[in-house]
Amino acid sequence: MSVYLHDIPLPEAQARFRQAIQAAGFWRVLGTESIPLDENSLGRVTAEPIWARISSPHYHASAMDGFAVRAITTNGALPSKPITLEIGPEAEYVDTGDPLPDWANSVIPIENVESLDEPCNITAEIRNPASIRIRSSVAPWSHVRPSGEDIVATQLVLPAGHILRPVDLGAIAAAGHQEIRVTRKPKVAILPTGTELVPIGSQLKAGDILEYNSLVIAAQIKSMGGESTRYLITKDDFDLICEKVQEAAQDHDLILLNAGSSAGAEDFSAKVVEKLGQLIVHGVAVRPGHPVILGTIDRGSLTSDEMIHRPGSIVPIIGVPGYPVSAALTIDIFVEPLIAYWLGRRRNELPTEMATLTRKIVSPPGDDDFVRVAMGKVGDKLLAAPLSRGAGVITSLVQADGLALIPRGTQGLDAGEPVKVHLYRSRAEIEKTIFCIGSHDLTLDLLSQFLAEQDRRLASANVGSQGGLIALRRGEAHLAGSHLLNPETGEYNISYIRQYMPNIPVKVVALVGRDQGLMVKPGNPKGLKSLRDLTRSNVQFVNRQRGAGTRVLLDYHLKLMTIAPERIVGYSQEEYTHLGVAAAIASGRADCGLGIAAAAQALNLEFIPLFQERYDLVIPREFAEGDLLAPLFELLAEGRFREAVSQLPGYDVSVMGTVILEE
């Protein structure tokens, strides 16, 4: 039997949902209201075209400080043949903005006028001479803002469906309005359900899940122009959920039920919708987020007052999947278009760009697959590096610069292939991103902080030292962190650079010296002292991935000590970062792993130092010389960053900034 209802394609799901809402008469602006014209109007949507009530200026206004004249009386004035105009009948002083006298049709700026009382030009202080002298003629309507120059009464100032910006408010005021009719904000009920959920800030025990989806969704709704009610958590209880949904249906335009949209034993959302209304879609062929429910709730016992306010018989309801990434994307995909229609505005569409994929993506051919990507411009290439695909990994959305779409009907894309990306950040921001790939070190987090102050973003992908050098060869990063020991020479990195990126001139700069050692639980319960202890059958090891410098270091020393890797329990269990290894030990998944002191300290582990090594930054010359990386070299040269790193345990900052190689 199938556990989920059949997933239907995304466009079909959207169409069915829309049809149901349309059939009930709800696929339109929900309502309008008149609001005072002030800064709170910002972001609201005009409900009707705004026509000008008055002209602006509403009279012929002087555009300069000067003298209003009849243009015809100035004809013939020449430097050698001045004309004198009498104040009163022929000329009248006006300030900028003053109305022209009825008889005047032009203004002579004060600096072009001579006073007869003084030999020099007239000044602002002497505005009331008996007459003035001019030495050139003026055309009619010179230095005049004629009535209607900006706005002519009755003209269209703004169309309906316009999102109000600061300057729009000025134009509306200039057109004679002090109120505006805007569309009503849709009211959205957010109902978190789940016995395992606890509010943010709770003391946690195993199995508790922090309920923060309602927070993210409320913020999404707000940024889309709606307003929301966040309900308290409801337990997984069919009757309780029904009750809450009915309550919410009374005074909301949309209900979001999160989660319980799957088909597990305690997933009640579909049944609730079936009982209280109509289940339209259960399961959409989209990743992440396929267990979506789309439906409508029949509004029960409405008073006639409520009917006036919301003259409809149904409320759309969406069963939002529980994983945070799925939840956020479901809101973008299904709720944003609805809010846009209800507000009468255009949809929020992210700009798209074609980018080059840095890694292969395998994708289920039946699904529209949305992949979070980090982006950077390296040389001429706009790159998209896939981030974690786990639907539970909200940090992947935080780090994402864009969302790549692998459309239904494809099985995925290879590294190097073009992919369409919806951008979360502007091109300008992406172009200020330093793309760092390779080995992970905790000082990169600190570096990221310092670079942010210099208007640079550091995006780092952890693929191990070797992976970083390969990425540099393919032109897919600006720099790589690397600590690859050459077992023959004891040298770091250089031989690997020759091997993996031949013919690419590079600059190699030392970042830090650091201790590598065993991370173990506090008190070192298994009494581990050296790599030899890893072969004990009661010791569970956690390893770094192939190509990581730490893995190379381990393998080098295992070989020196003639220890066969197969003898180490957990040798094939891989983590991608030092913190990942530390977390595995802290959580009890492993007894020990090889890593750096700072990672051990971060998670309160004990650290048994074994080796010292150098961690370098490898930078192709073309980037080493560019503007983008200049702030990085400044940071390495000055003291503040060095000082901050020296606070971390197990680091030697004496090498920082030393140029190891420069080609």
Binding to its own copies (CB under 8 A) within 195-214 occurs at: 196, 200-201, 204, 206-210, 212-213
Site for its own copies in 547-606 (CB under 8 A): 573, 579-580, 582-584, 586-589, 602-603
Amino acid found at 54: I
Which is nearer to its own copies, 308 or 398 (by Cβ)?
Answer: 398
Taking CB under 8 A as the criterion, the residue among 39, 305, 380, 627 binding its own copies is: 39
Tell me how many residues contact its own copies (CB under 8 A). 125
CA 445 to chain CA centroid, nearest Å: 19
Site for its own copies in 170-199 (CB under 8 A): 170-171, 173-174, 177-178, 196
Separation between Cα atoms, residue 434 and residue 461, nearest integer Å: 11
Examine residue 427 and tell whether it contacts its own copies (CB under 8 A): yes
Separation between Cα atoms, residue 291 and residue 317, nearest integer Å: 14
Separation between Cα atoms, residue 270 and residue 255, nearest integer Å: 13
Examine residue 167 and tell whether it contacts its own copies (CB under 8 A): yes
Shortest distance, position 143 Cβ to its own copies, whole Å = 12
Shortest distance, position 606 Cβ to its own copies, whole Å = 16
Site for its own copies in 603-622 (CB under 8 A): 603
Written as six digits, the tokens of 107 are: 């203004």
Shortest distance, position 141 Cβ to its own copies, whole Å = 7
Shortest distance, position 26 Cβ to its own copies, whole Å = 18
Site string for its own copies, 256-285 (x = CB under 8 A): ------xxxxx-------------------
Amino acid found at 315: V
Site for its own copies in 118-147 (CB under 8 A): 120-121, 123-125, 127, 140-141, 145-147
Strands (E), 424-468: 433-438, 457-462
Which one of 92-100, 355-363, 478-486, 549-557 is the stretch in contact with its own copies (CB under 8 A)?
92-100
Cα pseudo-dihedral 299, 301, 305, 307, rounded to 10: 30
Separation between Cα atoms, residue 204 and residue 192, nearest integer Å: 18
Which one of 26-34, 421-429, 493-501, 609-617 is the stretch in contact with its own copies (CB under 8 A)?
421-429
Residue pair 370/425 in contact (Cβ under 8 Å)? The answer is no
Q: How many CB atoms lie within 10 A of CB 428?
A: 7
Shortest distance, position 216 Cβ to its own copies, whole Å = 4
Taking CB under 8 A as the criterion, the residue among 9, 31, 161, 412 binding its own copies is: 161
Taking CB under 8 A as the criterion, the residue among 15, 131, 133, 150 binding its own copies is: 150
Separation between Cα atoms, residue 315 and residue 251, nearest integer Å: 10
Block residue for tokens 């080609």: 663
Examine residue 308 and tell whether it contacts its own copies (CB under 8 A): no
Which is nearer to its own copies, 455 or 566 (by Cβ)?
Answer: 455
Site string for its own copies, 49-68 (x = CB under 8 A): x----xxxxxxx--x-x---
Q: Residue count of the chain, please give it.
A: 663
Taking CB under 8 A as the criterion, the residue among 11, 390, 409, 418 binding its own copies is: 390
Written as six digits, the tokens of 585 are: 């030990």
HSE-CB at 43 with a 13 A cutoff on CA atoms is 10
Residue pair 331/186 in contact (Cβ under 8 Å)? The answer is no
Written as six digits, the tokens of 246 are: 């009915």
Separation between Cα atoms, residue 575 and residue 584, nearest integer Å: 9
Which is nearer to its own copies, 81 or 205 (by Cβ)?
Answer: 205
Report helix angle 630-637 to 443-453, nearest 10.
110
Shortest distance, position 560 Cβ to its own copies, whole Å = 29
Shortest distance, position 298 Cβ to its own copies, whole Å = 28
* 69 Cβ contact list (under 8 Å, min separation 6): 85, 90, 91, 104, 106, 107, 108, 138
